[in-house]
Structure 1
Amino acid sequence: MGAVVGRPESPKSVWTPETKLEAKMVEAMQRRATEGSALKSFNSIILKFPKIDESLRNCKAIFEQFDEDSNGAIDHEELKKCFQKLEINFTEEEINDLFEACDINEDLGMKFNEFIVLLCLVYLFKDDPTALQAKSRMGMPKLEATFETLVDAFVFLDKNKDGYVSKSEMVQAINESGERSSGRIAMKRFEEMDWDKNGMVNFKEFLFAFTRWVGIDDNDEDEEEEEDGEQD
């Protein structure tokens, strides 16, 4: 009988990124982690939810501006025009990688929450000379401040500064809040982030979870439309 071949359980220190984009994400986050985090507890992140929610929803106007056919999604060509308008200098390959990574429904169109995640990744990469080449600022200072808060939150959770958040790090971060039920809360939050169930959370996974935590999730809109249809 031969040995069962599968992906080995990787120690956290040698976890291997699965895509080129993920590798760039991890490298950028590791560099950012050297600056440390201004956040002191997970509760301080939660307290920022309303302000973050308001700021992200203000992206809707940008989203609708580039959703030229008004079908509720930004396709690949519309995204390229968006990058040109915002003067974000990415190569064709880099745009393709970002589109593929953020189109989690694989429906060839970016919904609003996917678009927010993409813009935040652009923010993370934009001042990184060795990763994606975004040479100019995005020109949206309030939004950039919100994205910086999200980067800061991830750095706070990533205790060993390796570019990933593990289950034990999530437990540690929430335990610092001193809540009695913190262990259960930590597990629930971690499961919400680790959507591919590989035991590690990268920044993209964190962002998708965060948009749900603050209430920005296209599934909610779909459910509302279905309910309206049933009432009719």
Structure 2
Amino acid sequence: MGGVVGKSESPETKLEAKMVEAMQHRASKGTTIKSFNSIILKFPKIDHTLRKCKAIFEQFDEDSNGAIDHEELKKCLHKLQVCFTEEEIEDLFKACDMNEDMGIKFNEFIVLLCLVYLLKDNATEFEAVSFLTLLRFSLSFLKSRMGVPNLEATFETLVDAFVLLDKNKDGYVSKNEMVQAINESGERSSGPIATKRFEEMDWDKNGSVSFKEFLLAFTTWVGIEEVGDDDEHH
């Protein structure tokens, strides 16, 4: 079974621990996606849906510098009338500021929304008041007022795609699991392709890929990078 070699000993924060737990729970239910190639075929539709989230990102980015900083995130949560502790805000910001440049860019904002979606059915007391409320408001707002009706279905596809790769259901993807997924797609050069895809996902180079690392790589694969990118770029 793959997925354990190189895995960090423990998640960095309460949020990341809950993310792994939620993905393990979700993986136990299986996936409707049959192959890595079927994920690739969904890229255009996913790209189209996620780009519609740009308007709400720009509302939160008050100084229009292309990133939501720590203070803007706190103001955003205040506007949503969501009560976060300082620790929860710090965990949320740290989890999504993957470039560690003190700002959540558009692709990282997509990661934020999808993480919240993942946690919606696995809320403990830690998330129940804060994350779950933020999730319901964010998705409802995006669907009804920002014209993103397919957002939940898109996030479910992303969760399903990760479950396909996470063969041993431990909440992480290993290089061996990535090779297995590419092999199942019938690629002739599956080894090099899998290695390249895995390296693109393994953001912290620790030998295993978490769901948030997968999401950030996925935004690049479908053509989304930062908020300033040309909408027609793929």
TM over 0.5: same fold?
Answer: yes
**Does structure 1 residue 154 correspond to structure 2 residue 147?**
no
| Unpaired runs of at least 5, structure 1 | 1-9, 223-232
Shift of residue 79, structure 1, vs aligned partner: 1.7
Checking the alignment, whether the CA contact within 8 Å between 2:54 and 2:227 is kept in structure 1 is: no
Shift of residue 92, structure 1, vs aligned partner: 3.3
Cα separation, partners in 2 of 1:71 and 1:59, compared to 1, 3 Å? same
**Does structure 1 residue 211 correspond to structure 2 residue 219?**
yes
What are the equivalent positions in structure 2 for 1:1-232 lying under 5 Å apart?
11-12=4-5, 16-20=9-13, 21-86=15-80, 90-130=84-124, 132-133=127-128, 134-136=131-133, 137=136, 138-139=139-140, 140-141=142-143, 142-218=150-226, 221=229
Identical positions, percent: 73
Checking the alignment, whether the CA contact within 8 Å between 1:113 and 1:208 is kept in structure 2 is: yes
Greater relative contact order, per chain length (Cα 8 Å cut-off, separation 6+): 2
Shift of residue 196, structure 1, vs aligned partner: 1.6
1:59-97 CA distances to partner (integer Å, 9 max, x unpaired)? Answer: 101111111121211122322333355566644322211
| Unpaired runs of at least 5, structure 2 | 144-149
Shift of residue 22, structure 1, vs aligned partner: 2.3
TM-score (norm 2): 0.82
Checking the alignment, whether the CA contact within 8 Å between 2:106 and 2:227 is kept in structure 1 is: no
Checking the alignment, whether the CA contact within 8 Å between 1:37 and 1:152 is kept in structure 2 is: yes
1:97-137 CA distances to partner (integer Å, 9 max, x unpaired)? Answer: 11112112322221111111111111111221226333342
1:152-180 CA distances to partner (integer Å, 9 max, x unpaired)? Answer: 10011001100000111101111111121
Checking the alignment, whether the CA contact within 8 Å between 2:174 and 2:207 is kept in structure 1 is: yes
Count of aligned residue pairs for this structure pair: 213
**Aligned counterparts of 1:63 and 1:167: Cα–Cα separation in 2:** 33
Checking the alignment, whether the CA contact within 8 Å between 2:61 and 2:67 is kept in structure 1 is: yes
Choose 1 or 2 for highest CA Rg: 1
1:19 partner amino acid: E
Checking the alignment, whether the CA contact within 8 Å between 1:111 and 1:218 is kept in structure 2 is: yes
Shift of residue 182, structure 1, vs aligned partner: 1.6
Cα separation, partners in 2 of 1:83 and 1:51, compared to 1, 3 Å? farther
Cα separation, partners in 2 of 1:75 and 1:220, compared to 1, 3 Å? closer
Q: Output the aligned Cα RMSD.
A: 2.4
1:26 partner amino acid: V
**Aligned counterparts of 1:155 and 1:11: Cα–Cα separation in 2:** 15
**Aligned counterparts of 1:109 and 1:100: Cα–Cα separation in 2:** 10
TM-score (norm 1): 0.83
Q: Which residue of 2 aligns with 1:3?
A: none
Cα separation, partners in 2 of 1:13 and 1:72, compared to 1, 3 Å? closer
SS in 2 for 1:38: coil
Cα separation, partners in 2 of 1:96 and 1:52, compared to 1, 3 Å? same
1:184-229 CA distances to partner (integer Å, 9 max, x unpaired)? Answer: 111110111112221100011101111111111139849xxxxxxx
SS in 1 for 2:132: coil
**Aligned counterparts of 2:114 and 2:100: Cα–Cα separation in 1:** 19
**Aligned counterparts of 1:34 and 1:11: Cα–Cα separation in 2:** 17
1:17 partner amino acid: S
Cα separation, partners in 2 of 1:44 and 1:87, compared to 1, 3 Å? farther
